[in-house]
Structures are given as C-alpha cells and as structure tokens.
Amino acid sequence: MRIALFLVFGITAPAPAPAQGPPAPAPLGAWTPIPELPVMGRPVDTAAVAARRRALAARIGRGVVLVPSAHERQLERDYVQDNDFRQNNTFFYLTELETQDAWLLIVAPGGDDRETVLFLPPRNPAQERWTGLRLGPDSVAARASGIPRVLSTDSLDRVLRSARARAAGPLYLPLDVSTRDEPRITDLTFDGGDVRSLRPIVDSLRLVKDADEVSRLRKAIDITTLGHIAAMRAARPGMWEYEIEAALEAVFRRNGADRVGYPSIVGSGPNSTTLHYDVNRRRTRDGDLVLVDAGAEWGQYTADVTRTFPVNGRFTPRQKAIYDLVLATELAAYDSTRPGVTIAQLNRIARDYMGAHSGSLCGDQTCDVYFIHGLSHWLGMDVHDVGDYSTPFRPGMVLTIEPGIYLPQESLGVRIEDDVLVTPGGAEWLSGKAPRTTQEIERLMRGGR
C-alpha cells in the first residue's frame, strides 16, 4: 500500500547483543512511533499552493471553501490496479498533500495562511503498524504543508460554523463524483444554505499551469518518452503486445513514475485501428505496425504520448506514406499553436491540411475521413484535463496534438501524439525526445537490435 505524504519508519542497525545472549523481544503492542521522523513523499511547493489558494479566494470574493481529500480505495471492491490511494485533484491542487481523510477550509476574502485551516485525523499508532506513519494535526504537518493552522478533524464542524457566520457568503464545495458519497458534503448541500459548486472556478484556474505544474508535467513526460524508446527497442515480430507493454511500463517505474496515467494501449496490426484498445493480448506478426499510446504519472500529473512503429523495425512504403501524412498534419497544427488560437481552430487546420495533401493515399476519399477523433485535449492531473475547450490559448496551457489515420480494411492505424506547452511566442514540444520521424524510429530500432 502507498500512503503518500506520510512519515518513514526509522530503520537502524540492531544494537549489539550483550554477552549473556540476545535481548528479549519487545512484547506485541509495545511499538511506539519514533518522534520527529522526516516527511516522506514529493515535497510540497508551499509558495505555489499558497498562490493558488489566494487566487481562488480572489475569484470567489466572499464565502467559505471546504474541500475533502480522498479516502483509501477498497481493494476487494474497486479492483485497484496500481495504488490503493490517489488524492482528489481539487484537494491536491490547493495543498499538494497526498494524505487521506483530510479537509481544507479557506475563508474569503483573504485566502492567506491566516484564513486557511488544514484538518487531519488524529494519529492512531495501532493502525499505523499496518499503514505506515501518517500525518497528524501537529507541527510536522504544518511544516510539510506550509499551512500554519492545522487542527484535528474532530473540530471541523465547529470551525466551519464559525467561518460561515464570519464570512457571510456562500459555501463552496467540490460537487463532483469524488464527493458523491461523502456524508458531510451531502448534509451541507441540503442544509438550506447558499451552497455552490467549487469545481467550475478551480477548473478554470487549473487550465493555466504554474511553474510547479509545468515542472511535474515535464518529469512525467520525460519518463514517458524513455518508456516509448524502450518499447521500440524491445519490439520483435512474434512478441505479444503485453510484452511490449511490460518493456514500456518497467521503464516508467524504474524512473520513478507513481503509476500509469491511464491503461496503456499497445495495439498491433488490426488493433492499431481501435482507438481505446487496451487488452494487449495479440501476438504481433512480421509487417505489423504497433501503436503505443501510454503515459506515466509523476507527482499527480500525467503524460499522454503516442508513437506508431513497425514491429520489425522497417516501414513498408505504404506504411511510410500514411505515417508521413499524419506527421506532416501534426507539424502543421503545431506551427499554428500560439496564444489566441483555440482547439477548434487547430482541429480545422489539421483536417484541412490532411485533406489537401491526401492525394490518392486513401482511395476515392481524402484521408481526413479516416481521422475519426478530435485533434487535441487539455493535459494535467487528468489525461483529459479540465477546462473549457473554447478558451483561447494562453501561455502556460498544456494540450495534446494527435492526428491519426485508421484503415481497418488494411489493419493499418497510425497515430502520433505529442504534449505541447503554449508559450508567449508560440509553443514548445514537451515530448520531443521521443523519436517521431520514420528515419529516427528505424535508426533507433536498428540500434536496439
């Protein structure tokens, strides 16, 4: 199990045994936590999260914000495939804490440290023998979070009542699927007061990434590109799709990924034409293209990168022609990415380019007919991140560019997907380290052999 932002057990060498024999073992139940142990987990950028809380308070104007953290998932019920805990995105955005069963209270106007309270469950030493040491309502949590006022969850209701009376404004709650089964949220929603959804406000703030968020995305994307390179180097005709997946995801974990951002897609031959194929159980054949759509998550932020390559390391002329059209379409969209443009405009640019340059590649129809999905989506803590898709680009936004052509009758699918940061002067490839041209891919795969 992973309990993020928790304390590490101290592991020390045993003391030398006295001459008369080994010491008697401590009786069961006599273990006590060692005080002042270092905090474990990714460091919190306390300045960044404080700035986010202030921006939220300024956007609200007057009112109270209450945000719960996530709970541990139930292994027997939820079929967890990675960790049994992942923080709620809204709580993480405002705290960067990965501790569970916590609450955050923000009072506006203000939103500074004096108007922010972090509530944590009291420590339970007996339970911590199973889970590892957790953050509790003490000075360790205050130092780790950068929030000076840390109280026990036992005092939440009392402090909330006082804050609502003082603020004399609406109560903002993250009303979404993550809080649907939260009894306190349900009770507050129907208590007759002015209760509003927090999500639209936070989602709009999350659309433009700050420096800490971009740094986390860069790390996740760099890990992901290493995984894609490993998959290309490992591929051989006759390998099972899940063997290529294993080569990819082993590199993710070896380089510190917390988990995959979404189930990895490794589609060979006919499976390359199925957009969200993730069974990964087919055996590859000589001459197949393999479409790998996979992203590592690091620090709660995920990459989303797709590469398509020949399992034998050599594109056929037909495969290369389709691939080069997809790549040229991606480059046309990237060259048009700059502040003020919208995703809809990029999508139209890409489709017009593909249609105009199709020739007879796709028969009597232009190839954009076989480009059957959207060009882009926002990227961040979610692989399809939050935010209004009609919003014109601003520096700090991160999106994917992912054209594709899918020809089921030929068992031939090509998608190329990259992660792009909008900059003041245009855009930056975040996933540019992953080989993209047919020449780069073939060269890499020859070297891997």
Domain ranges of the chain: 35-206, 211-448
* Least confident stretch, 22-31, 37-46, 396-405, 407-416: 22-31
pLDDT in tens, 102-115: 999 999 987 667 78
**Mean pLDDT within 57-76:** 87
Task: Using pLDDT thresholds of 50, 70 and 90, give the confidence band for residue 78.
Answer: low
- Quick one: what percent of the chain has pLDDT higher than 90? 79
Distance CA 389, CA 203 (A): 12
CB-based contact 284:241 (threshold 8 Å): yes
Report pLDDT for 75: 57
Task: Using pLDDT thresholds of 50, 70 and 90, give the confidence band for residue 46.
Answer: very high
Assess whether pLDDT exceeds 50 at residue 226.
yes
Q: Comparing C-alpha atoms, which of 186, 46, 43 is closest to residue 116?
A: 46
Assess whether pLDDT exceeds 80 at residue 449.
no
Task: Using pLDDT thresholds of 50, 70 and 90, give the confidence band for residue 81.
Answer: low
Report pLDDT for 61: 92
Task: Using pLDDT thresholds of 50, 70 and 90, give the confidence band for residue 73.
Answer: confident
Fold of the domain built from segment(s) 35-206: Creatine Amidinohydrolase; Chain A, domain 1 (3.40.350)
Q: Which residues, 6 or more positions from 137, have their beta carbon under 8 angstroms from its beta carbon?
A: 119, 120, 121, 122, 150, 151, 152, 153
* Least confident stretch, 79-88, 241-250, 274-283: 79-88
DSSP lists the bridge partners of residue 283 as: 240
* Least confident stretch, 75-84, 166-175, 413-422: 75-84
Half-sphere exposure of 207 (CA within 13 A, CB side): 16
Assess whether pLDDT exceeds 80 at residue 146.
yes
**Mean pLDDT within 427-435:** 98
CB-based contact 149:137 (threshold 8 Å): no
Distance CA 289, CA 274 (A): 13
Assess whether pLDDT exceeds 60 at residue 417.
yes
Distance CA 334, CA 401 (A): 7
Assess whether pLDDT exceeds 90 at residue 4.
no
pTM of the model: 0.89
CB-based contact 352:371 (threshold 8 Å): no
**Mean pLDDT within 431-438:** 98
Q: How far from 28 is each of 25, 32, 131, 133, CA to CA, in Å?
A: 9, 11, 17, 18
Distance CA 285, CA 206 (A): 43
Assess whether pLDDT exceeds 90 at residue 7.
no
Report pLDDT for 192: 81
Fold of the domain built from segment(s) 211-448: Creatine Amidinohydrolase (3.90.230)
Report pLDDT for 22: 39
| Mean pLDDT across the chain | 89
- Quick one: what percent of the chain has pLDDT higher than 70? 88
**Mean pLDDT within 167-181:** 90
Assess whether pLDDT exceeds 60 at residue 60.
yes
**Mean pLDDT within 11-28:** 38
Report pLDDT for 239: 98
Assess whether pLDDT exceeds 60 at residue 416.
yes
Assess whether pLDDT exceeds 70 at residue 79.
no
**Mean pLDDT within 242-252:** 98
* Least confident stretch, 7-21, 318-332, 338-352: 7-21
Assess whether pLDDT exceeds 60 at residue 443.
yes
Report pLDDT for 77: 61
Task: Using pLDDT thresholds of 50, 70 and 90, give the confidence band for residue 41.
Answer: low
DSSP lists the bridge partners of residue 421 as: 398, 428
